[in-house]
Structure 1
Amino acid sequence: MSTCNVQIATGRSSLRQKIDLFFTGLGLGVNPYGLQRARMQQIISLEMKSDDQLARMGLTRDDILPHVFRDILAV
Structure 2
Amino acid sequence: MERTAGLAATHRPSNLLRTIAAPFRAIGLFLVAMAEAGPRMEAIRRVNAMTDEQLAAKGLTREGEVRRIFRDRFYV
Could you say which TM-score interval applies, normalised by the shorter chain? 0.3 to 0.5
Larger radius of gyration: 2
TM-score, structure 2 normalization: 0.39
Higher strand share: 1
* More helix per residue: 2
